[in-house]
């Protein structure tokens, strides 16, 4: 567990952050005085930890809280005490998967995955969280139908436990064109078909807007027509996976309005990699773009 910041260390920590000498990321935020912005409340904002490096989890929690963010994505049970310290949710847990490449498409990984998820699902639920990520894994020469059958067989081994504990297993849609070569769940129709075969409210798709813009486009129509299968959303600019600014092609306000119109109440979590040194300034900009 991360130790609380004592008053003396807090002042030192603040000087480092505001000076930007060590991290070069937080210079525009006064953590003692700045209040959380007045957000419209239609979008429940989260943020992923990994692209916000070199901020560590505690630093991101402090900054995210000031921006009105409610959850941190892609962290596991070891991080829960820090999130709880700052009154933040784990908007998407990890820690049960093997890797992005080694997933449910290949039966050789099923026993290990089942063991992992049987251990982590109760921990997620015990801490009051709902979402737990999973991955299809790579094709390894497999056709779509074989991949579907293998994923269905493996996932159905853990769904009764997920249903018992109220945990939603969320398979992420990732592009195979640029970032994750050979990944099976790279198109929403394939993922939707898997949802239909599993037929459980505790299995959904993590719809990553950046990834699906690359592999299929037509984002708004896809969300409107299939939102019942999407349990979580990620953002990033394309091309480059950077800020949600004028240098990329996705018009996020329209996409966010489409999400709101579906009645979605879950998290939209930002997973872009800021080019600028001030990571929280980039995050604030993304929130402003998406807060429709």
Give the CATH number, domain containing residue 200: 3.20.20.150
Is 227 within a domain? yes
Please give the C-alpha separations between residue 292 and each of 10, 66, 89, 160, 164, in angstroms, as whole numbers: 34, 19, 22, 37, 35
Could you check whether the bond before residue 83 is cis, i.e. omega within 30 degrees of 0?
A: no
Residue ranges in the chain assigned as alpha helix (H): 7-19, 57-66, 80-85, 110-126, 144-155, 159-165, 188-198, 209-215, 219-226, 252-261, 279-290
218: left (phi over 0), alpha (psi -120 to 50) or beta: left
Residue 37 pLDDT: 63
Is 37 within a domain? no
Mean pLDDT of the chain: 90
Question: Mean per-residue pLDDT for 60-77?
Answer: 98
Is 265 within a domain? yes
Q: Which residue range is the domain that position 276 belongs to? A: 43-290
Is 165 within a domain? yes
Neighbours of 43 (CB within 10 A): 19
Q: What is the pLDDT of residues 238-289, one digit of tens each?
A: 999 999 999 999 999 999 999 999 999 999 999 999 999 999 999 999 999 9
Is 260 within a domain? yes
- Tell me if 52 sits within 8 A of 278, measured CB to CB: no
Is 3 within a domain? no
Q: What is the pLDDT of residues 35-46, one digit of tens each?
A: 456 899 999 999
Q: What is the C-alpha to C-alpha distance for residues 166 and 117, in angstroms, rounded to an integer?
A: 13
Do the strands 203-208 and 131-134 form a parallel or antiparallel pair, or are they unpaired? Answer: unpaired
Give the phi and the psi of residue 246 in degrees, each rounded to 5: -75, -5
Is 140 within a domain? yes
**Residue 259: which of 212, 283, 225 has the closest Cα?**
225
Q: What is the C-alpha to C-alpha distance for residues 244 and 252, in angstroms, rounded to an integer?
A: 7
**174: helix, coil or strand?**
coil
**Residue 14 above 60 pLDDT?**
no
What is the domain count for the chain?
1
**Residue 252: which of 91, 45, 93, 51 has the closest Cα?**
45
Q: What is the pLDDT of residues 191-220, one digit of tens each?
A: 999 999 999 999 999 999 999 999 999 999
Q: What is the pLDDT of residues 219-242, one digit of tens each?
A: 999 999 999 999 999 999 999 999
**Residue 34 above 80 pLDDT?**
no
DSSP state of 158: T
| Residue 180 in tokens | 């994750």
Is 6 within a domain? no
pTM for this prediction: 0.88
């Amino acid at each position: 567990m991360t130790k609380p910041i004592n008053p003396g260390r807090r002042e030192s920590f603040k000087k480092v952050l505001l000076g930007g000498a060590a991290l070069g990321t937080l210079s525009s935020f006064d953590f003692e005085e700045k209040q959380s912005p007045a957000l419209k409340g239609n979008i429940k904002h989260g943020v992923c930890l990994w692209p916000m490096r070199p901020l560590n989890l505690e630093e991101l929690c402090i900054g995210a809280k000031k921006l009105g963010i409610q959850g941190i994505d892609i962290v596991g049970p070891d991080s829960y005490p820090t999130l709880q310290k700052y009154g933040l949710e784990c908007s998407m847990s990890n820690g049960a998967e093997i890797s992005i490449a080694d997933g449910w498409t290949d039966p050789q990984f099923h026993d290990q995955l089942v063991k992992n998820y049987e251990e982590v699902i109760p921990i997620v639920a015990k801490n009051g969280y709902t979402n737990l990520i999973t991955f299809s894994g790579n094709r390894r020469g497999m056709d779509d139908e074989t991949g579907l059958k293998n994923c269905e067989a493996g996932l159905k081994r853990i769904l009764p436990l997920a249903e018992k504990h109220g945990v939603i297993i969320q398979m992420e849609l990732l592009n195979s064109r640029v970032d994750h070569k050979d990944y099976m769940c790279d198109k929403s129709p394939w993922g939707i078909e898997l949802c239909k075969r599993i037929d459980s409210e505790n299995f959904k798709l993590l719809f990553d807007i950046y990834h699906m813009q690359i592999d299929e486009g037509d984002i708004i129509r896809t969300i409107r027509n299939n939102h019942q299968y999407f349990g979580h959303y990620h953002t990033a600019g394309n091309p480059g996976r950077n800020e949600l600014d004028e240098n990329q092609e996705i018009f996020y306000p329209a996409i966010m309005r489409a999400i709101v119109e579906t009645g979605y109440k879950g998290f939209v979590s930002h997973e872009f990699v800021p080019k600028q040194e001030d990571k929280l300034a980039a995050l604030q900009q993304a929130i402003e773009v998406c807060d429709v």
